Amino acid sequence: MAKKTNQARDSVPAISDADDLLLGEPLPEAERIAALEQLRQQVAACTRCLELTDHRTQTVFGVGNPMARLCFLGEAPGADEDRLGEPFVGRAGKLLTRIIEACRLKREEVYILNVLKCRPPGNRAPHPLEAANCRPFLDRQLEIIRPEFLVCLGASAAQTLLNTTASIGKLRGRFYRYRGIRVLATYHPAYLLRNPSAKRPVWEDMKMLMQEMGIPIPQ
Ligand code: SF4
C-alpha cells in the first residue's frame, strides 16, 4: 500500500468510515463491567513501553459509566492522575467536570479515558510508538463501551485517534466518525486554564454536541 504523505495527514480526516464500524451486538452492562475489569488487569500488567513502565506509579485505565453514550478522551495521565489512578483529577480535571455539568450531564454518566494509560515522565508528549503500543487497549475500551459520541480533548488525542497532523483549530467545530462513533475535537481543559479566551469555542463545540445528543441547550 502507498505510504501516506505528510500533506495527506495534515488534511482534516474524511467524515465517513462506513467500512470500519464496530461489529457485533453491544454487550449488556454486567458483561461490559466484567470485560472492562479484565482489560484493566491486562493494562495494569502491561510493560510494552519500558520508559513509562519504569516511571509510573500505576496505570490509569479510565473511569465512568460502562453504558455511557459519551466518552471524553485525553492524551495521557499527569502527575495527579498517576498518583490517584484516575484520569482528569487535577485542576484540568475539575474544569472538565464543570464542562460536563454545563452540558447537563454528570461526570458519572460519561466515560473518561486517555490515549496512553501510563504517565510520560515530566509530562512530555507521548511518543508515536507509545501511542501505537497502547492503541489496542483504547480500541478495546471503545469496543466494550460502544459510545455514540466521543470528545477528543486537545490536539494530541484528536490527532492520534483520527490519524492526522491537522491542528486542533482546524479539527474542532465539526463531527468525524471513528469506528461508527461520532467524534468531536476541542481544546484541552489544561489549555483553557492557560487561555481563558478559548472557553468560547469550547462552549460552541459543546453546544453542537448537545444538539446532536438531543440535550436541550441552556439559553
Ligand atoms: S502506555 Fe499503554 S502500552 Fe505503554 S506500558 Fe502503559 S499500558 Fe502498556
Q: Say how many C-beta atoms besides its own lie within 10 A of residue 135's C-beta.
A: 14
Residue 187 lies in a domain: yes
Rounded to the nearest 5 degrees, what angle is found at the Cα of 89, between the Cα atoms of 64 and 63? 15
When divided into structural domains, the chain yields a total of: 1
pLDDT at res. 49: 98
Residue 160 lies in a domain: yes
Residue 162 lies in a domain: yes
Range(s) of the domain holding residue 154: 26-213
Whether 18 has a pLDDT exceeding 50, the answer reads: no
Assign residue 148 the CATH number of its domain: 3.40.470.10
Tens of pLDDT, residue by residue over 30-55, are 999 999 999 999 999 999 999 999 99
Residue 8 lies in a domain: no
Residue 218 lies in a domain: no
Residue 151 lies in a domain: yes
> Cα torsion at 214, 216, 217, 219 (round to 10°)?
160
pLDDT band at 16 (very low <50, low <70, confident <90, very high): very low
Residue 125 lies in a domain: yes
Rounded to the nearest 5 degrees, what angle is found at the Cα of 82, between the Cα atoms of 81 and 84? 60
Residue 100 lies in a domain: yes
pLDDT, greater one: 14 or 63? 63
Binding pocket residue ranges, ligand 1, CB within 6 Å: 43, 46-49, 52-53, 59, 116-118, 130, 133-134, 137
Residue nearest to atom 3 of ligand 1 (CA): 134
pLDDT, greater one: 70 or 7? 70
CA of 139 to the centre of ligand 1 (A): 13
> What is the β-pairing status of strands 181-186 and 175-178?
antiparallel
> Cα torsion at 158, 5, 178, 116 (round to 10°)?
-50
Residue nearest to atom 4 of ligand 1 (CA): 49
Tens of pLDDT, residue by residue over 54-100, are 999 999 999 999 999 999 999 999 999 999 999 999 999 999 999 99
Whether 126 has a pLDDT exceeding 90, the answer reads: yes
pLDDT at res. 4: 43
pLDDT, greater one: 153 or 218? 153
